[in-house]
Amino acid sequence: TQTQKLDRGLLINQSSPSSFTADEEFDELCFEFGLELDEITSEKDIISKEKGEEKAKGASDVVLYKIDVPANRYDLLCLEGLVRGLQVFKERINLPRFEKIIPAEGEGQRLIITEQTAQIRPHAVAAILRNITFTKDRYDSFIDLQEKLHQNICRKRALVAIGTHDLDTITGPFTFTAKAPSEIKFKPLNQSQEYTASQIMDLYRTDSHLRHYLHLIENKPRYPVIYDSNGVVLSMPPIINGDHTKISLNTRNVFIECTGTDITKAKIVLDIIVTMFSEYCEKPYTVEAVEVVYPNGKTHIYPELAYRTEKVKPEYINKKVGISETPSSLAKLLTRMCLKSHVTGNGNHLEIEIPPTRADVIHACDIVEDAAIAYGYNNIQMVIPKTYTIANQLPLNKLTELLRLDLAAAGFTEALTFALCSQEDIADKLGTDISATNAVHIANPKTAEFQVARTTLLPGLLKTIAANRKMPLPLKLFEISDIVVKDPNTDVGARNYRHLCAIYYNKSPGFEIIHGLLDRVMQVLEVPPSEENGYTIKAAEGSAFFPGRCAEVFAKGQSIGKLGVIHPDVITKFELTMPCSVLEINIEPFV
C-alpha cells in the first residue's frame, strides 16, 4: 500500500459541503470504499513525533488525513482521483468520459524518437493538457502525483520517468535522442547556470532526492535527452528537467512526456496523469494527442485512453462473493466503483466498460473484487463451509510448543534470533570453513550481517548474550527454530531442520547444568537413557568446543547433535569474557 497525506479541508469540501463533518464518518466511508484512514494528524504532529516539539514550532496545524491506498490503484494517488472515486461511489456524480482530441493534419505536436535511444530508454509517449488552470493546491497535487508514480509503478524511475513542461516556452516537433554526456549542455531545473551532463551528475551526487536516480544512466556511453525544434533541452530523463520549460501557476498548456524501458507502464502513467488533471482544462476531461514517430518511421498517437469492455456472468460474481444479487443490482454496484456496467443478453451477462483510469483491472476476479467492495464486506452473510475439515497443529510445531514450555520451566529464557547471519558467524568465529557449513548464500545481501541462512542456532544465542552482558549472571537462554542447509535432492535445493539450542553463561562453564537439561528434555520426550532404543552421549570433538569437553548425542539410532563447553577462542570472537556450555540438537526425529 501507499500512504496518501491529504488536507482534510480540501478533501471534505470537494467530497461534500455538508455531510462529512465528522472524522468518524469519513473513516467509515473510506472503509466502505476499500481504503483505510490510517491516521488523522498534522504536519506539526508528524515533526514533533519524529524530531521533538522544538523542531515542530512554526509547522502547519492544518489537519491531514493519512489514507492507505492499495499499490495497484494509481487513480487514487492524488486528491482529484480520490475525490472523483468517492463521489462516483456515493452516486453524486457520473463517471466522466475522457476524450482524446486529435488536431488537424500538420497542426499537432510530434515527438520523434531516434535510434540512438534504443540501448538506454527506447520508449517515449506524450500528451498535452490545453488551457489548464492551476491554483497552488492543484499545482502541488500535480507535482505530488508525479512523485508518487515515480516511486510506485515507475520503480524509482527505472521503468518510466515523467517530464512536464510549459508548452508555450518551446516549439515542436520534439526529438528524443541520446548523446555523449559532453555534448549535452543546459540549465537544470531551479539552477542559475548551464552545466554539461557530466557536471550535472556531479552536481546531484550529494542531492538527497536526485542522487538515487543517477545510477540509472551514469555508466552509459550516451545519456537520453529531449530537445525542441530550436535545440532547447526539455529534459534529461530520468534525472532532471530543464529550467527553461519549468511549469508555474501561470502555465496554461502542459506538455507531458514519459520515457522509459517499459512501454506498457509508460502508457499507464501517461493515462493516469492526463485523466487526473484534464478536469482543470477549459474543456474538462479532454486531452490533446501527440504523434510519436518511431525510428523505423512508424507513428502512433498518444495518449491511448483506451476503453475496453469485459463480459462477466452475474452468477459468477454471486458465486465468488457469496451473495445473490440481481444482474441489474450488480451492474449498479460496479458502476459505483467506476466500472460502468449494464445487463445484456436476457440478463445472462454483464457488459463492463473498463476506463483508462483502471489499469489494475486485468481479470474477471478484479471485477468480482470491486463488486464485493461496493456490496460491502460486512453485508456478506457468513455461512458454514460445505466441506468439513478438522484443523490440526503441525506435529513439529506442536512438539516445539511443548518443549518451549518445559525449557522455560527449567529456568531458561527464550530468545528469538535472525534466521540470516554473516558468513563469519557460522564459519570463522566457530573455527570452521564456510565451504564445510553447507550454507545457503544470499545473492545480493543488503548488509554484511545478512549474508547466509544460519546452519546453527549457536551464533544467534552468543550474540544475544553479548548484547546482554550487563544482566546479572548466570544467563540461561534457549531457542527452538529452523536452520537451513543445502540439499540438492529437494525441489528448492535447500532443507530446513528444527533445532533446539540452549546455552549457560556463568563464571564456571556449568557443563553439568546443560547435561542435566538434556536429560530433562529426553525425560519429557519419554526417551530412556539406553543404547538400544534410547539416547546416549559419546565423547567427540568439535571446532567450536573445548578439547575433551565435547560430547555427541545419539538417539533413535542416529546422531542428533552435540553438547559441551565452548572453546575460549569462540567466546573471545563473540566479545564475551566468561565460559559457557551449550547444547544443540535436532528435534525432528522425536516428532
Is the same domain home to 165 and 115? Answer: yes
Q: How far apart are CA 135 and CA 110, in angstroms?
A: 28
Q: What is the pLDDT of residue 20?
A: 46
Residue 18 pLDDT class (50, 70, 90 cuts):
very low
Residue pLDDT, tens place only, 565-590:
999 999 999 999 999 999 999 999 99
Is the same domain home to 179 and 273? Answer: yes
Give ∠ CA 39-76-377 in degrees, rounded to 5.
70
Strands (E), 237-285: 240-241, 254-260
In a domain, 488, yes or no: yes
Q: What is the mean pLDDT of residues 543-563?
A: 91
DSSP 3-state percent helix, strand, coil across the chain (nearest 5): 35, 30, 40
Beta strand 286-293 with 99-101: parallel, antiparallel or unpaired? parallel
Residue 12 pLDDT class (50, 70, 90 cuts):
low
Residue 6 pLDDT class (50, 70, 90 cuts):
low
Is the same domain home to 451 and 586? Answer: yes
Question: Of 95-99, 372-376, 443-447, which range is least confident?
Answer: 443-447
Residue 81 pLDDT class (50, 70, 90 cuts):
very high
In a domain, 92, yes or no: no
In a domain, 96, yes or no: no
Q: What is the mean pLDDT of residues 389-411?
A: 92
Strands (E), 20-117: 36-42, 63-69, 99-101, 110-113
How would you class 188 by CB atoms within 10 Å of its CB: exposed for 0-12, middle for 13-18, buried for 19 or more?
buried
Asked if the model's pLDDT at residue 66 lies above 60, the reply is yes
Q: What is the pLDDT of residue 8?
A: 57
Asked if the model's pLDDT at residue 173 lies above 80, the reply is yes
Q: What is the CATH number of the domain that holds 571?
A: 3.30.930.10
Q: What is the CATH number of the domain that holds 60?
A: 3.30.56.10
Is the same domain home to 319 and 457? Answer: no
Phi then psi for 551, rounded to 5 degrees? Answer: -135, 145
The residue among 271, 302, 333 that closes a domain is: 302
DSSP secondary-structure letter at 449?
T
Helix segments in 376-457, DSSP class H:
395-409, 423-426
Domain count, the chain: 4
Q: How far apart are CA 239 and CA 216, in angstroms?
A: 9
Is the same domain home to 286 and 332? Answer: no
Asked if the model's pLDDT at residue 17 lies above 50, the reply is no
Is the same domain home to 51 and 169? Answer: no
What is the per-residue DSSP string for 123-171?
EEEEEEE-SB---HHHHHHHHHHHHHHHHTTTTTTTSEEEEEEEGGG--
Question: Of 42-46, 76-80, 164-168, 454-458, which range is least confident?
Answer: 42-46
Q: What is the mean pLDDT of residues 230-246?
A: 92
In the structure grid, which three cell numbers stand for residue 405, read together?
Answer: 514450555
How would you class 270 by CB atoms within 10 Å of its CB: exposed for 0-12, middle for 13-18, buried for 19 or more?
buried
**206 or 106, greater pLDDT:** 206
CA dihedral 83, 85, 86, 90 (to 10 degrees): 140
Asked if the model's pLDDT at residue 13 lies above 70, the reply is no
In a domain, 452, yes or no: yes
Is the same domain home to 203 and 66? Answer: no
Q: How far apart are CA 177 and CA 191, in angstroms?
A: 23
The residue among 287, 302, 317 that closes a domain is: 302
Is the same domain home to 490 and 573? Answer: yes
Q: What is the mean pLDDT of residues 209-237?
A: 91
Is the same domain home to 157 and 270? Answer: yes
Q: What is the pLDDT of residue 7?
A: 60
In a domain, 53, yes or no: yes
Single pTM value for the model? 0.69
Q: What is the pLDDT of residue 19?
A: 43
Residue pLDDT, tens place only, 261-295:
999 999 999 999 999 999 999 999 999 999 999 99
Is the same domain home to 192 and 273? Answer: yes
Asked if the model's pLDDT at residue 524 lies above 50, the reply is yes
In a domain, 388, yes or no: no
**59 or 429, greater pLDDT:** 429
Is the same domain home to 140 and 269? Answer: yes
How would you class 505 by CB atoms within 10 Å of its CB: exposed for 0-12, middle for 13-18, buried for 19 or more?
buried
What is the per-residue DSSP string for 298-309?
-EEEE-----EE
Q: How far apart are CA 531 and CA 554, in angstroms?
A: 8
Is the same domain home to 217 and 354? Answer: no
Map grid coordinates 470537494 to a residue.
14
Residue pLDDT, tens place only, 113-133:
999 999 889 999 999 999 999
Residue pLDDT, tens place only, 461-520:
999 999 998 899 899 999 999 999 999 999 999 999 999 999 999 999 889 999 999 999
Q: What is the CATH number of the domain that holds 255?
A: 3.50.40.10
Q: Which domain holds residue 324?
A: 308-376
In a domain, 407, yes or no: yes
In a domain, 90, yes or no: no
Q: Which element (helix H / strand E) includes 334? A: helix 327-336
